[in-house]
Chain A
Amino acid sequence: MANVVEFKNYSMGFRDDDGAVSNLLDGISFSIEEGKALGVVGESGCGKSMTSLSLMRLLPDAAVVQGGEILFEGKDVLKLSDKEMQTIRGDRLSMIFQEPMTALNPVITIGSQIGECLVLHHPELSKEEVRSRVIDALDSVGISNPERRLDQYPHEFSGGMRQRVMIAMAIINHPALLIADEPTTALDVTIQAQILDIMKRLKGESGSLLMITHNLGIVAEVCEEVVVMYAGRAIERGTLAAIFDNPMHPYTRGLMASIPTMHSDKGPLPTIPGTVPTVYDFKPGCRFADRCPHCKDICTREAPQYRWVGDDHIVACWLYEGEGDGNA
């Protein structure tokens, strides 16, 4: 099956006020097949949002691309002109942002904000057609009374409602790839479940899904493949079964162990000691070395290569040196 998107050894970083660039994303590689959902998990600050914003080409001003390719439907988005990028965004490729409270324009009605996606990419549609398609979209994400809601402003919507509006906006043109950046973090549990249902339904309907979250439960429910990120590196990736049943990287293992289950005893959940380093204090070697229970001498000196450890399973860790066939 063809890949909708493929990150090839992609790196980016941030330029500080003095012009020095600190690397964040380091050699990220993964791909998503048509119709599949990929989950990107990792602690806060590990670069999940930067990964998705790189694909959208919506990085903050301070960001600099340092290398690699991001192929979307066969074309390297890093090489597209602004114009070409604009024709893709919101049509073939769309994104639900992490912050539903601030992601909508406070002075424009919901209806015209959603309708804008249609107006921009399908100028041939009449006003009435746009309106009726916006109503359908609102309806499909479970907003009741869409005819009336259309003319309201974001402040008249709750957080959960706004997130649905964002989703409606992102799916109205049936994108080939939908990026969902923590689509449920800001929501309470019942709304979370509803939103997840919407996302699952939509994966079947409209193509592939890139699901960013630090909630492993969501990944297990929605995704076929998983990328585990740590401090800007994709330290492990594979099928859902491979990652969940057979986590290899010490960080992934820690992550899995910290999920509460029905069978875990009532004692404190295992946690990974320490915190994620920030862009400015990355050291040579494995970025997880400081917190790793299996840290060896080489871990602090040299970054581990990716190696295949199963048919659908890749890990970057010195523990598995000598296993598999190396250099994935």
Chain B
Amino acid sequence: MTRYVLRRLGRGLLTIFVSVTLVFFIVRAMPSDPVSLMISPQMSKAAQEQLMHTYGLDQPLLTQYVLYMKELLIGNMGISFAKRIPVTELIASRLPYTLVLLAVVMLIVCAIGIPLGVYAATHKGKLADRIISVLVTVGISIFIPFMAFLLLYIFAFRLKVLPTGGAYTPPMKEGMAFVADVARHIVLPALALAITNFANAVLYTRNSMIDVMHEDYIRTARAKGADEKRVVHKHALNNALIPTVTVIGMQIGIMVGGATVTETVFSWPGIGRLIYDSVNALDYPTLQGTFLVMAVAVVIMSFIVDLVVARLDPRIKLGD
């Protein structure tokens, strides 16, 4: 087990290193110049150079890279070009919002999606299953921004039951009032973001459940006198969940930064929104920071997925 964790850690670090390096150079290959955005023409030549120097932009590319990596090792992600505060601080202020959003998405996906998939599988071919299958196909193929705007239009503009954006209505409230406020704000972005994953979870659970229900060991369970409920819950579900968990888990990891569109449409102050803002501002350090967080999230999620799958499936040995 220790060996497994070490090996896993090494591989994770390598993944993160490669991704950080790639992002560093890709960001700098963007066809515009952050300096021109930061520097106003009124600035004196000396002030301009001072600014360039502060951000290290006067150095050759490779030197910048080495410098960046060195600072990264001691936990310094640099100073945001746009906000002029440390990137770590900026990310720390945004990450909780993304995590809360993902937690809600995960809850919707697992607590509703998986049971719905099981329901569809056990009622295969019946009306309920057919309706679910059609909705799922729509859910998978729907264009997320369209969904986001549709939700906004219905719930925020027409019915006026939910806020249009942000994570809370300023001024920031205290205690439970704040939680309740955030809860109201999170509904729409969580729905928009959950839709594809939800549909995927239903589909995967349904299909793998249907496959599993044809396995010989299901017949064995019936032969022992188990009733349908026990067959489904004790014998089929664990087996059916193995592929579902893998797919959902990896998807969630990617969403740590991948929710850019949804977070932007709903002005949700998370990592995705930060990516959008940083691209607009050509804020290299922040961009790099957000992508680093994304890489770390993916690595962590794949580790968690492995642990969960190993728990579900005794044939998988973590040592190998």
Q: Which residues of A are in contact with B by a Cβ distance under 8 Å?
A: 56, 58, 82-83, 86-91, 94-95, 97, 99, 102-108, 116-117, 120-121, 153, 155, 166, 169
What's the dominant secondary structure at chain A's contact region? mixed
Contacts of A97 in B (CB 8 A): 216, 219-220, 223
The answer to whether B27 has its CB under 8 Å from any CB of chain A is: no
Distance in angstroms between the alpha carbons of A120 and B222 in the assembled complex: 11
Contact: B222 with A58, CB < 8 Å? yes
Give the residues from 227 to 277 in chain B that come closer than 8 angstroms, CB to CB, to chain A: 227-228, 230, 234-235, 238-239
Q: Is the CB of A108 within 8 A of B220?
A: no
A82: which B residues are within 8 A, CB to CB?
227-228
| Distance A153 CA – B314 CA, assembled complex (angstroms) | 7
The reply to whether A91 and B225 contact each other, CB–CB distance below 8 Å, is yes
Closest Cβ–Cβ distance, residue B116 to chain A (whole Å):
22
Quick one: which of B217, B226, B227, B312 contacts A104, CB cutoff 8 A?
Answer: B217
Contacts of B219 in A (CB 8 A): 58, 97, 103
Bound-state CA distance A99–B217 (Å) is 10
A contact residues around B215 at 8 Å (CB)? 102
B222-A169 in contact (CB<8A):
no
Instruction: Say yes or no: A86-B315 contact (C-beta < 8 A), given A58-B219, A103-B220, A105-B239.
Output: no
Cα-based distance from A88 to B219 in the complex (angstroms): 15
B216 lies within 8 A of A99 (CB): yes
A-B pairs, 4 with minimum CB distance: A90-B225, A90-B224, A102-B216, A105-B217
Q: Is the pair B223, A106 in contact by a Cβ cutoff of 8 Å?
A: no
In the complex formed, the residue of B with least CB distance to A86 is: B225
A-side contacts of B217, CB under 8 Å:
102-106
- Considering the complex, give the chain B residue whose CB is closest to the CB of A96: B223
**Contact residue among A83, A95, A155 (Cβ-Cβ distance under 8 Å from B314):** A155
The residue from B223, B235, B239 contacting A90, defined by CB atoms under 8 A apart = B223
Interchain CA distance A121-B223 in the complex, whole Å = 12
Q: Which of B230, B238, B314 gathers most chain A CB within 10 Å?
A: B314
With both beta carbons as reference points, the residue of chain A lying nearest to B313 in the complex is identified as A107
Given the complex of chains A and B, what is the CA–CA distance between A90 and B230 in angstroms? 14
Contact A87 B225 (CB under 8 A): yes
- Cβ distance B129 to chain A, nearest Cβ, rounded Å: 15
Complex contact B225–A105 (CB within 8 A): no
Question: B35 interface residue, CB < 8 Å from A?
Answer: no
A120–B230 alpha-carbon span in the complex (Å): 10
B306 CB to nearest chain A CB (Å): 16
Distance of A84 Cα from B221 Cα, bound (Å): 16
> What sequence of 0s and 1s flags, for each residue 193-237 of chain B, a beta carbon within 8 Å of any chain A beta carbon?
000000000000000000000011101111111111010001100
Q: A104-B217, A120-B225 are in contact. List 8 more A-B contacts (CB 8 A).
A: A56-B223, A90-B223, A97-B223, A102-B215, A103-B217, A103-B220, A106-B313, A116-B224
- A107-B216 in contact (CB<8A): no
Shortest B163–chain A CB gap in Å is 45
Contact in complex: A120, B226 (CB < 8 Å): yes
CA distance A14 to B222 in the complex (A): 21
Most chain A CB neighbours (cut-off 10 Å) among B215, B223, B228, B313: B223
Q: Are B225 and A104 in contact (CB under 8 A)?
A: no
Interface residue ranges of B34-48 to A (CB < 8 Å): none
- The one of B216, B224, B234, B239 in contact with A117, judged by C-beta atoms closer than 8 angstroms, is B224
State which of A88, A107, A153, A166 has its C-beta within 8 Å of the C-beta of B225. Answer: A88
Please report the C-alpha to C-alpha distance between residue A255 and residue B211 in the assembled complex, in whole angstroms. 38
Instruction: State which of B223, B226, B235, B239 has its C-beta within 8 Å of the C-beta of A94.
Output: B223
Contact A107 B314 (CB under 8 A): yes
User: Measured between C-beta atoms, what is the minimum distance from B237 to chain A in Å?
Assistant: 10
A29 to B: closest C-beta gap in Å: 24
Contacts of B220 in A (CB 8 A): 97, 103-105, 166, 169
| Contact B223–A86 (Cβ < 8 Å) | no
Task: Let me know if A86 and B227 touch, CB within 8 A.
Answer: yes
Q: Are A89 and B314 in contact (CB under 8 A)?
A: no
Report the separation of the CA atoms of residues A104 and B224 in the bound assembly, to the nearest whole angstrom: 12
Q: How far is the CA of A215 from the CA of B238 in the complex (A)?
A: 37
A72 CA to B230 CA, complexed, in Å = 25
Please judge, given known A-B contacts A105-B239, A107-B239, whether A155 and B224 are in contact too, CB under 8 Å: no
Q: Report B295-320 CB contacts with A as 1/0, cut-off 8 Å.
A: 00000000000000000111100000
Residues of chain A within 8 A (CB-CB) of B216 are 97, 99, 102-103
B41 to chain A, nearest CB (A): 68
A97 CA to B218 CA, complexed, in Å: 12
In the bound complex, residues from chain B placing their C-beta under 8 Å from that of A86 are 225-227
Distance of B231 from chain A, by nearest CB (Å)? 10
Determine if A120 and B313 form an interchain contact, defined as CB atoms under 8 angstroms apart: no
Chain B neighbourhood of A121, CB < 8 A: 225
Q: Are A116 and B226 in contact (CB under 8 A)?
A: yes
> How long is the Cα–Cα vector from A210 to B279 in the complex, in angstroms?
74
Q: Can you report 11 residue pairs joining A to B where beta carbons are below 8 Å apart? A: A86-B226, A89-B222, A94-B223, A104-B220, A105-B217, A105-B235, A106-B314, A107-B238, A107-B312, A108-B234, A155-B315
| Cβ contacts under 8 Å, A169 to chain B | 220, 224
Cα of A106 to Cα of B217 in the assembled complex, Å = 8
Interface centre among B219, B230, B312 (most CB of A within 10 A): B219
Find chain B residues with CB under 8 A from A91 CB.
Answer: 225
